[in-house]
Amino acid sequence: MDKITLTGIEFFAYHGVLESEKQLGQMFAIDCELVLDTSFCNDEIEKTVNYGDVALKIKSFACSNRYDLLESLANNLVSYLMYEYPLVEEISLTVHKPHAPIATKFSDVSLCITRKREICYLAIGSNLGDRKAYLDTVKAAVVQDKNCQFMAISTYTETPPYGVTDQPSFLNAVIKIRTFYTPNQLLQFCQRLEHAAGRVRLRHWGERTLDIDILMYGDKIIYTEDLIVPHPEMDIRDFVLAPLCEIDPHLIHPVRKMSVKRLLAALS
């Protein structure tokens, strides 16, 4: 991938925790690195990114919004730029605050964040109420969310309950999306949809109006208290592998180092 870099975009704004910062304001600067493929632009500016336009959008956004934290400014600005420039695959943004109110001599305070579009797969299931309607809400939410791009969804398949068998059958599917949500942001997105569907966790592997699991997040391997990716049991669940194989049979499991098609065949 290629990179377009803008350095030292200066502006006067009112970001800060202290009341004096909110009232008096101060100078800030932003460096921005855009990663994209420029090989097919054919000398047409419409097929690449107009860096002059980017600079003006950065300045306008930073001046017209107010945040207590640099973290909030940087994250919201990156989301805005990702939405505005769909050709960009990755953005690194550094916010400089050289006049921060610190009681010692220093030359600069800066925050750097990087966000990248990733292909993700979500397993969705329901065994209470209008099961199809609950699964449909996931696709609708992805389509409506500016941080996500809908790519594909598998056939809805009815399957027997897993783990706890004294409950109704499930309607299951897998949805493929492209997003610049971080893993934790994607988890929060899924949990918001579950909550909106009225999910109540009464027992492990129990009944649910809507269940959404992050199966894969790019080729990342994540192991935290709140999130494990790839999903630790996706390779032993046929009701996950079969719809995933329908969408992307040659997708490689980053831990097992096998394709979804081979994993499904081995399970069978």
Residues 108-160 have pLDDT tens digits of 999 999 999 999 999 999 988 899 999 999 999 999 999 999 999 999 999 98
CA gap 230, 213 in Å, rounded = 10
Do the first three CATH levels of 2-116 and 118-267 match, i.e. the same topology? no
- Rounded to whole angstroms, the Cα distance separating 127 from 129 reads 7
pLDDT (tens digit per residue) in 67-83: 999 999 999 999 999 99
Span 173-198, mean pLDDT?
Answer: 95
Percent of the chain whose predicted confidence (pLDDT) is above 70: 96
- In the predicted model, is pLDDT for residue 206 greater than 70? no
Confidence label for 201 from pLDDT (cuts 50, 70 and 90): low
Domain spans of the chain? 2-116, 118-267
E strands, the chain, are: 2-13, 26-36, 90-96, 110-116, 118-126, 148-153, 157-159, 170-179, 211-217, 222-223, 228-229
Whether 3 is a known active-site residue: answer no
Q: Is the pTM of this model over 0.75?
A: yes
Percent of the chain's residues with pLDDT above 90: 87
The CATH number of 118-267 is: 3.30.70.560
Q: Active site residue: 97, 116, 146, 257, which one?
A: 97
Of 156, 167, 161, nearest to 134 by C-alpha is: 156
Query: Do you find a cis peptide bond into 101, omega within 30 degrees of 0?
Result: no
- pLDDT for residue 164: 72
Q: Quote the pLDDT of residue 218.
A: 96
Is domain 2-116 given the CATH code 3.30.1130.10 in the classification?
Answer: yes
